[in-house]
Amino acid sequence: MDRVTVVAVTLLAFVAVVALVFGVGRLATIRFGHRARQLQRQIAITREEGEVRIERRLARGATSEVPVLLRHVLDAPLMRRLDLMLVRAGSSRSPLEIIALMLMLSLGGFLLPAATGLGALLGLALALALPAIPPMWLLRVAHRRRARFESQFPDALDFICRALRAGHGFMAGLGMVSTELPDPVASEFRTTFEEINFGAPVNEALARLAARVDSPDLEFFVVAVVIQRETGGNLAELLGGLSSTVRERMKLAGKVRALSAEGRLSGILMTALPFALAGILTTVNPVYMSALWSSPMGRHIVGVVLLMMLLGSIWIQFTVRIRV
């Protein structure tokens, strides 16, 4: 067979394998995904007797319907880490789907360059680099979701304060937040509200809320509520002060971001300028730029320059990133 036929057959086989893997992964998500395990946990809580400890109920409820072999796979540290990343990103996917996607990207990155004649070295580099895309995407989505949660969190605190000052209980305030505010703050508080209604202790439900969102402001809220439940005090006044503090911190963070915008823009321009200039020079005079790719000295220079650019970009990011 000629090269075109080999490439076409490789592409078709790769697409077929990807479709099969994603189909199996989707079925695993529906059957063993985070939402399914959450419902199984809630059902198990309602069925268990009152003297059984909540930790054992939650652990057994989360995996009671999962086969033994798959249970060990889902309990692996990597799977737990991916599951936590998916929860923080607000995704309904399963860790098995992410692992399958990473394997498919690695396989595709290795096979396609080899099939097109670009060389095995490039295929090996792509096979090692492409699997990092799904975790990086999940981290980015989780960061953006946390930023939206933090922007809505002061309003949630105000809702709970108004409910407490009107004579309602803390649970009534959580219910108001879960129904009146937009996502993601509403969905997270709704999950906590449902866990408490199904029998989970308030302290543990709030601790799981803090673990799902991973926000310092929410951790302050959880600590304040837990301490108030143990020692007493005016929770409405405490949460009102926390709301004011969070709003002031957000204002200060906005000012810092505005003042550091010049440094961030400079970093973007300095990183993109060499690539843009190389593309323009290659288009205008390919012979002039071919020395960088055809000679060993030129390739070494390109490697050193790329390494220095990477280090400079990392340094600029650390310089302009100021935590408030």
pTM of the model: 0.67
Q: 314: buried, middle or exposed (CB in 10 Å: 19+, 13-18, 0-12)? A: exposed
- Could you tell me where the DSSP H helices lie in 90-231? 95-115, 120-129, 133-165, 170-180, 185-197, 202-213, 216-231
- Top-confidence residue, 158 or 122: 158
Q: Which CATH number does the domain 145-258 belong to among 1.10.10, 1.10.1060, 1.20.81, 1.10.3470?
A: 1.20.81
Q: Where in the chain is the domain with CATH 1.20.81?
A: 145-258
The mean pLDDT of 15-25, rounded to a whole number, is 62
- Whole-number pLDDT of residue 91: 81
Long-range contacts of 170-176 (CB under 8 A, 24+ apart): 170/202, 170/225, 170/235, 171/196
The mean pLDDT of 194-205, rounded to a whole number, is 86
Residue-wise pLDDT tens digits, 308-322 = 888 887 787 777 776
Confidence of residue 33 (pLDDT cuts 50, 70, 90): low
Query: At residue 260, does pLDDT exceed 50?
Result: yes
Q: CA 244, 247, 253, 258 torsion: positive or negative?
A: negative
Residue-wise pLDDT tens digits, 97-136 = 888 888 888 888 777 776 666 666 777 777 888 888 888 8
Residue entry with tokens 């079925």: 27
- Whole-number pLDDT of residue 306: 83
Confidence of residue 51 (pLDDT cuts 50, 70, 90): very low
Query: At residue 9, does pLDDT exceed 70?
Result: no
